[in-house]
C-alpha cells in the first residue's frame, strides 16, 4: 500500500459513528496505516493532518493528534512545527488537536521543547 491509498482508505472511514473503543476499529486501523508513512512521506501526512485536524468531530481530531500529528512532530519537527504554529493560531479546532499531543522525539531537543510547550500553553487557552 502506498501513502495515497492509505489516506484514501482512511478518508472513506472517517468520521464514522461513535467513539473508537477498540484498537480493531477500522478507523483506528486506517489511521495507524497512514502513520506508517510518516517517516518517508511527511508532506502527504501533513496535508491529511492539516485537513482533518480542523474537523468538527472531536473523535477525528483526537485520532489525528495521537496517531499522526505527534508522530510527525517527533520525526520532522524542524520542517513542520512552524506550519503547526500557524494553524494552531488560526483555528480553534486545530488548537484542540495539537493540545492532545505529547512531546517526544525531535520535540525533546533543546529549543524545540520550549517552543512546543509555549505553543501547547497557547493552544490549551485558545481552544476554550
Q: What is the pLDDT of residue 81?
A: 98
Q: If you ran DSSP here, which 8-state letter would residue 69 be given?
A: I
Supply the range of the domain harboring residue 99.
3-126
Rounded to the nearest integer, the mean pLDDT of the chain is 94
Q: What is the pLDDT of residue 54?
A: 96
Q: What is the pLDDT of residue 24?
A: 84
Reported confidence tier of residue 16, pLDDT bands at 50, 70, 90 = confident
In angstroms, the CA 102 to CA 71 distance is 9
Q: Between 59 and 49, where is the model more confident?
A: 49
In angstroms, the CA 117 to CA 32 distance is 26
Q: What's the total number of domains in the chain?
A: 1
Give percent of the chain above pLDDT 70: 98
In angstroms, the CA 62 to CA 80 distance is 19
Q: How confident is the model over 81-96, as pLDDT tens digits?
A: 999 999 999 999 999 9
Give percent of the chain above pLDDT 90: 85
Read off the pTM: 0.93
Sequence-distant (6+) residues with CB within 8 A of 40 are: none
Phi and psi (nearest 5°) for 109? Answer: -70, 150
- The pLDDT of residue 19 is above 80: no
Amino acid at each position: 500500500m502506498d501513502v495515497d491509498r492509505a489516506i484514501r482508505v482512511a478518508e472513506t472511514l472517517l468520521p464514522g459513528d461513535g467513539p473508537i473503543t477498540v484498537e480493531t476499529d477500522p478507523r483506528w486501523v486506517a489511521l495507524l496505516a497512514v502513520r506508517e508513512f510518516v517517516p518517508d512521506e511527511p508532506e502527504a501526512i501533513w496535508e491529511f493532518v492539516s485537513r482533518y485536524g480542523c474537523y468538527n468531530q472531536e473523535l477525528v481530531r483526537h485520532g489525528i493528534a495521537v496517531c499522526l500529528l505527534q508522530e510527525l512532530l517527533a520525526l520532522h519537527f524542524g520542517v513542520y512545527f512552524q506550519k503547526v504554529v500557524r494553524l494552531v493560531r488560526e483555528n480553534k479546532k486545530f488548537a484542540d488537536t495539537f493540545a492532545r499531543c505529547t512531546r517526544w522525539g525531535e520535540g525533546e531537543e533543546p529549543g524545540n521543547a520550549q517552543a512546543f510547550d509555549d505553543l501547547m500553553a497557547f493552544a490549551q487557552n485558545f481552544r476554550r
